[in-house]
Amino acid sequence: MPELYPLENSVQHNDWGSRTRIQELLGTVPDGTPAAELWLGAHPSAPSRVDGGGSLLELVRSAPDAMLGRRVADEYGPRLPYLLKVLAADRSLSLQVHPKPHAARAGFNRENRQGLPPGDPCRSFHDDQHKPEMVVALTEFEGLAGFRAPRAVLDLLDGLDGALVGDVRALLAADRSPGGVKAAFTRLVVARHDAGTPDDVATTVAAVTARLASGSPSSRADATVLQLATEHPGDPAALASLLLNRVTLDPGQGLFLPAGEVHAYLSGLGVEIMASSDNVLRAGLTTKLVDEEALVECASFVPRPPQPPRTRAGGGRGQVTTYRAPVREFALTLADVGPDEKVELPAEGPRIVLCLSGDLEVGAEGCPAPATLGRGASVFVPHDAGPLRLSGSGHAVCAWVP
């Protein structure tokens, strides 16, 4: 008989993480250690544990048709195609990009031939999967995503001191096509290898500081440069923020990042869902491996505004919002459940439900016993459990395959 599987999920401790937010969600006592991400899924790097023993990875592989459904298993094989996260950032993440499918396969196979073992910090490609992703803000959420139009970048660079920004300005002025954007961005990210770059970055940062103090016409962009330069002194990637769109999400707003989109999250708490991959190509703003060559090879340099996901609001006294991106691996539904109300969730496929607040009951048509979730608790709902509903009082997120 089908059953619901309570999950034990892993917390990733990166230096940019919050010291309180994920701890508050899970009901643990903060000890000063930053907690950056809560992973819910079956990625081999950190699969969720199924209550009673074993991992979600092993459970899915043991019965893919029952766990995933024939449609999902036929398309993706015996693997959960998405990875759900709660992301809590008190400072900026790395300037990064995620590879497209062909680049992920090629990079993963290349590093395997080089003999790099799984989990090696010298690896750029930890699996052979692409990694489009979507984030939905739970608090005000700040980030950078995609390239500004060259004309807007030139306006931001106008009057700034420093040889490096002078080179970038000249490259963009000569070529405002995506090729010129690529040349300008590449000039910035490879400058980290030049001995004089920290001093040159400091010169530009001083000019940005002066402009901001005198009434900058681009105060948000300038403030971003100063934030990144403070967190990562001398890193030219702080100046690269002037090439990227600045994004602020209010709670409930979302952002879709296709594979190849250069981005960096800056601060905030959000729910993030992605294709099940751990491939991150970094160009700066980090103490981890920087692989600017792979990033430039995989990135898209076509200027475009940030891409919100498609949203659809449901009915009832509570609020149910579904977020869809132009990919096949994942979708999200956020639900506010009121007393004496039942909320219907996706009826098939592999689903993960996480309680964000309150006390909720998760019931499935094919399961005799519901699962009770308090704040921070989660459950895997297999395909063969059938249609899914929430009751109680609280706020939850459900990951599913459209």
Q: Which residues are catalytic?
A: 282
| Radius of gyration in angstroms for the set of CA atoms belonging to the chain, rounded to a whole number | 22
Could you give the 3-state DSSP secondary structure of residue 126? coil
Partner residues linked to 273 by β-bridges: 84, 134
Q: Residue 147 is encoded by which pair of tokens?
A: 């390239």
How far is the C-alpha of 283 from the C-alpha of 297, rounded, in Å? 12
> Measured between alpha carbons, how far is residue 18 from residues 108, 231, 233, 278, 335 in Å?
31, 15, 21, 20, 25
Q: Is there a contact between 255 and 308 (Cβ–Cβ < 8 Å)? A: yes
Amino acid (one-letter) located at 355: C
Phi, psi of 262 (to 5 degrees): -70, 135
Structure tokens at 107: 């990079």
Question: Measured between alpha carbons, how far is 305 from 16 in angstroms, rounded to an integer?
Answer: 26
- 200 touches 164 (CB < 8 A): yes
